[in-house]
Structure formats: structure tokens, C-alpha cells
């Protein structure tokens, strides 16, 4: 039952899977919405979100839009095509991610995008659908200059705010998701988050990943290595099984940190010195906690982040693993003594997403 003063926000994200970064973003936006006096519901979110966030979930998109006073897209990279987009990706883009905005625009429901990544959208139909969704929004906040450039390139002429990813807000000590970095350990603690997806790149990359890990193994007398899982909810998930097989192949018994909740993962990261990762939000939150991130990814959104925080030298393409010189450069960065100084300005800019959200909700009441 809705009270006279209560407003309902349909919070949208990539919430059909159990991914650390997506769950964290939804938790951050739920906290901000509730602080503004709203109640959150989620369209088509899975049971994990319902239990962890304590929200009404698994709601069909039309029903969620109709029941809400506002539709909020709470960060994420769903507006950017992968390198080789499949028909399945394009169908999900429209039916899973664009539909809330399309229905909100058609019915006159206020909606906004906060801290999203945007572009590229190369397929003409996907671009048309995406821009239809964008053009009806009350607020457009993108997480980097490259996203803004894509919007301008595709013809958007409205106001665009550029604010770093909202997950960087946990660098603020007042955030409920902030963890103090632990600097008091006997050994250097390095977390390796390098799962290879089961796609056509797997066979080409895996031998070189094994070679890199074997090289790292030779340094383990002074280093504590761990594998980090950021997806799935038990030891039967793909990432955990992948790291088990890798451990067997290189003959080590490195600890595998499974994924439970964002807070649990953040606590683990805060106890590390270096995190080597293929994923954007593992890198983002490592940086926000003052832990050195090393990126090895195949998506431009991750490279954009490293550039944004002045760590371009610490990002590599996944296919750089094939190159011996690049592997040496990766090892050099892992073991150098460079410290991470978190930019207060970056954190402040990330918190601009909260201010934009508050203004959006206040003006629409």
C-alpha cells in the first residue's frame, strides 16, 4: 500500500545474473533512493536481488513501469556493444534494457540514466532504439567522456552530464560500502581475477595465461596469491571451477575467494595490495579502496576507466597475454612499489550522480 508521501522507483540494471558489479550498483542506488524517501521495486531482477536488497523483484517490465512514479537506470554498461555482438545480445538489449525506457516514454513516466556507459552502437536498428530511449530521458549522466562523444556523434543535442561510475562513490569514507585498506601484512597479497569466457578466444589465450601464472608462481615465496570470483553463488559456478582447473594445471593451492555479497568482496579486496582483473567493477572498486588495479580486458569500457583515473599504463588488452613483452610489462606493474592515491575529485564527481538523482526525484514529485 502506497502512503500519500511515498513514491515508488522502478530501479533498472543488469539484474538477471549474479554479478558483483551489477549488484553493487543496484545496492548503491537503492541506498540513495531510500535516503530521498522512495521505495524501490525492480523489474525482472532475480531472487538474489530480492533477498539481498529486500525489494519486490521479478516484476514484468510493463507492470513495474506502471506501478512506479519514476524509472531509474542505475549505472551499467548495457548501452555498449561487445566486440562481436550476437543476435542474442541485440534481442536482450531491446527486450531487457530498452523496454523500461520505451514504455516510460510512451506513457509519460519520468525516467533517467545515471552514471551509465554509452557506445558504441554500430547496428542501425539498435542505434535507433537506443537513441529513442535516450531522447525521452529527463536526466542523462554518463560515466566518461567517450560515452558523451558517442551520444553527440549519434545526434543527441540535450544536456549531458559526465560523472564517473557511481561505484567510485565508495571511496568516500561516509559510504556504507567503504572499507579501509589493510596495510599491515607480512606478505604482499595479490588477487587474480582472470577468468576466460568460454568463447572463441579461449583456446588462443589460455596457454599464455598459464604461462603468466607459472611465472608468477616463481615469486610466491614473498607473495600470497589468491583467485577472486565475482559471479555466481556457489562453488559449482563457472568461474570457481575455472580457477580450480587452472590451479591443478599449474600445481598450486592458491585460495579461491568465492562471491557471496558485494560487502564480502569489498572486504576481501581491501585486504589486497594488487588486484589483476578482466572486469570493470573489480578494477573500479579496487581503485576506490586504494588497492592497485591491473586491467587485462577485452572491452573498451575498462580501458576508458583506467584512462579516466590516470592509470592507462596499468591496462592491457586480453590479447596482450599472447605477447611475451606485454606479459613482462604486466609482471613489472604487479610487483613495482607504486602506490594508489585515490583522487578526491573523482570521488566527488561520482557522488554527483547522487545529487542528480535527488534533483530528478524532487522535481518529479
CATH number at residue 334: 3.40.50.2000
Assess whether 202 and 158 both reside in one domain.
Answer: no
Q: Is residue 170 part of a domain?
A: no
Per-residue pLDDT, 214: 95
Per-residue pLDDT, 110: 98
Domain of residue 245, residue span: 188-342
Distance, in Å, from the CA atom of 140 to the CA atom of 327, rounded to the nearest integer, reads 39
Assess whether 117 and 193 both reside in one domain.
Answer: no
Per-residue pLDDT, 6: 84
Q: Is residue 55 part of a domain?
A: yes
Assess whether 36 and 76 both reside in one domain.
Answer: yes
Q: Which of 14, 89, 22 is nearest to 280 (CA)?
A: 22
Per-residue pLDDT, 85: 84
Assess whether 338 and 197 both reside in one domain.
Answer: yes
Model's pTM, two decimal places?
Answer: 0.95
Please state the three-class secondary structure of the chain as a single string.
CCCCCCEEEEEECCCCCCEHHHHHHHHHHHHHHHHCCEEEEEECCCHHHHHHHCCEEEECHHHHHHHCCEEEEEEEEEECCCCCCCHHHHHHHHHHHHHHHHHHHHHCCCEEEEEEEECCCCCHHHHHHHHHHHHCCCEEEECCHHHHHHHHHCCCCCCCEECCCHHHHHHCCCCCCCCCCCCCCCCEEEEEECCCCCCCCHHHHHHHHHHHHHHHHCCCCCEEEEEECCECCCCCCHHHHHHHHHHHHHCCCCEEECCCCHHHHHHHHHCCCEEEECCHHHHHHHHHCCCEEEEEECCHHHHHHHHHCCCHHHEEEHHHHHCHHHHHHHHHHHHCCCCCCCCHHHHHHHHHHHHHHHHHHHHHC
Assess whether 116 and 202 both reside in one domain.
Answer: no
The grid cell for 229 is 570470483
Q: What is the pLDDT along the chain (365 residues), one digit of tens a residue?
A: 344 568 999 999 988 888 899 999 999 999 999 999 999 999 998 889 999 999 999 999 999 999 999 999 998 888 988 878 889 989 999 999 999 999 999 999 999 999 999 999 999 999 999 999 999 999 999 999 999 999 999 999 999 999 999 999 999 999 999 999 987 778 899 999 999 988 778 999 999 999 999 999 988 778 999 999 999 888 999 999 999 999 999 999 999 999 999 999 999 999 999 999 999 999 999 999 999 999 999 888 899 999 999 999 999 999 999 999 999 999 999 999 899 999 999 999 999 999 999 999 998 77
Assess whether 35 and 124 both reside in one domain.
Answer: yes
Distance, in Å, from the CA atom of 315 to the CA atom of 281, rounded to the nearest integer, reads 14
Q: Is residue 365 part of a domain?
A: no
Long-range (24+ apart) CB contacts under 8 A made by 307-314 are: 307/144, 308/144, 308/164, 308/346, 309/343, 309/346, 310/343, 311/287
Per-residue pLDDT, 5: 63
Number of domains in the chain: 2
Per-residue pLDDT, 221: 76
Q: Is residue 351 part of a domain?
A: no
Q: Is residue 26 part of a domain?
A: yes
Q: Is the C-alpha dihedral spanning 178, 31, 22, 228 positive or negative?
A: positive
Q: Is residue 60 part of a domain?
A: yes
Assess whether 64 and 126 both reside in one domain.
Answer: yes
Bridge partners of 188?
223
Phi, psi dihedrals of residue 192, rounded to the nearest 5°: -110, 115
Residue reference for cell 568463447:
199
Per-residue pLDDT, 72: 98
Amino acid at each position: 500500500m502506497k502512503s500519500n508521501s511515498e513514491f515508488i522507483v522502478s530501479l533498472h540494471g543488469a539484474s538477471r545474473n549474479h554479478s558483483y558489479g551489477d549488484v553493487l550498483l543496484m545496492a548503491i542506488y537503492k541506498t540513495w533512493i531510500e535516503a530521498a524517501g522512495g521505495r524501490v521495486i525492480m523489474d525482472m531482477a532475480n531472487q538474489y536481488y530480492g533477498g539481498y536488497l529486500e525489494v519486490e523483484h521479478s516484476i514484468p517490465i510493463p507492470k513495474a513501469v506502471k506501478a512506479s512514479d519514476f524509472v531509474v537506470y542505475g549505472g551499467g554498461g548495457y548501452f555498449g556493444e561487445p566486440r562481436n555482438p550476437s543476435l542474442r545480445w541485440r534481442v536482450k538489449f531491446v527486450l531487457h534494457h530498452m523496454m523500461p525506457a520505451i514504455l516510460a516514454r510512451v506513457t509519460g513516466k519520468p525516467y533517467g540514466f545515471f552514471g551509465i556507459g554509452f557506445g558504441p552502437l554500430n547496428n542501425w536498428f539498435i542505434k535507433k532504439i537506443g537513441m529513442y530511449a535516450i531522447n525521452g530521458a529527463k536526466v542523462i549522466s554518463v560515466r566518461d567522456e567517450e560515452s558523451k562523444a558517442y551520444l553527440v556523434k549519434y545526434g543527441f543535442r540535450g544536456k549531458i552530464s559526465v560523472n564517473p561510475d557511481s561505484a567510485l562513490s565508495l571511496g568516500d569514507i561516509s559510504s556504507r560500502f567503504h572499507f579501509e585498506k589493510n596495510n599491515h601484512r607480512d606478505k604482499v597479497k595479490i588477487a587474480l581475477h582472470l577468468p576466460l569466457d568460454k568463447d572463441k578466444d579461449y583456446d588462443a589465450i589460455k596457454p599464455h595465461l598459464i604461462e603468466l601464472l607459472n611465472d608468477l608462481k616463481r615469486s610466491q615465496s614473498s607473495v600470497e596469491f589468491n583467485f577472486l570470483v565475482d559471479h555466481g553463488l556457489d562453488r559449482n559456478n563457472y568461474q570457481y571451477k575455472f580457477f580450480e582447473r587452472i590451479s591443478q594445471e599449474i600445481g598450486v593451492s592458491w585460495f579461491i575467494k568465492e562471491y557471496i555479497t558485494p560487502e564480502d568482496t569489498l572486504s576481501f579486496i581491501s585486504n589486497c595490495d594488487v588486484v589483476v582483473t578482466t572486469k570493470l567493477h573489480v578494477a573500479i572498486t579496487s581503485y576506490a579502496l586504494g588497492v592497485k588495479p591491473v586491467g587485462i580486458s577485452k572491452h573498451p569500457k575498462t580501458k576508458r576507466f583506467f584512462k579516466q583515473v590516470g592509470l592507462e599504463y596499468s591496462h592491457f588488452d586480453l590479447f596482450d597475454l599472447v605477447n611475451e613483452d606485454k606479459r613482462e610489462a604486466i609482471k613489472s606493474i604487479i610487483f613495482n612499489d607504486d602506490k594508489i592515491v585515490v583522487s578526491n575529485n573523482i570521488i566527488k564527481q561520482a557522488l554527483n550522480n547522487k545529487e542528480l538523482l535527488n534533483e530528478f526525484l524532487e522535481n518529479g514529485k
